[in-house]
Amino acid sequence: MNALVVLLLVIHVLASLGLIVLILLHSGKGTGVSSMFSGMMSPTASGTGIIEKNLDRFTIGAALVFAVTTLLLMVTYSPGG
């Protein structure tokens, strides 16, 4: 395995773990990051709308990194040598 494949594998594993954590942080049926940080306050009073938007952006970024590394590994990795 060459250094590029090892680097891509490390990035791929980190992106997948990050994606799992970020997806679990998303709100589902009224709970999630917004309730964790603000309790019962409204989204406009606590600023959790910004937190949710940034969480969406990070999740999309991690998904894009995961997709790109998947495609690059598909092209560069050869199991026989």
Per-domain boundaries in the chain: 1-25+44-81
Q: How far apart are CA 81 and CA 75, in angstroms?
A: 14
Q: What is the pLDDT of residues 6-63, one digit of tens each?
A: 999 999 999 999 999 999 988 765 555 555 655 555 555 555 688 889 999 999 999 9
Chain centroid to CA 45: how far? 27
Give the orientation angle of helix 3-25 with respect to helix 48-76, to 10 degrees.
Answer: 150
Neighbours of 32 (CB within 10 A): 17
| Single-letter amino acid code for the residue at 51 | I
Q: What is the pLDDT of residues 24-36, one digit of tens each?
A: 988 765 555 555 6
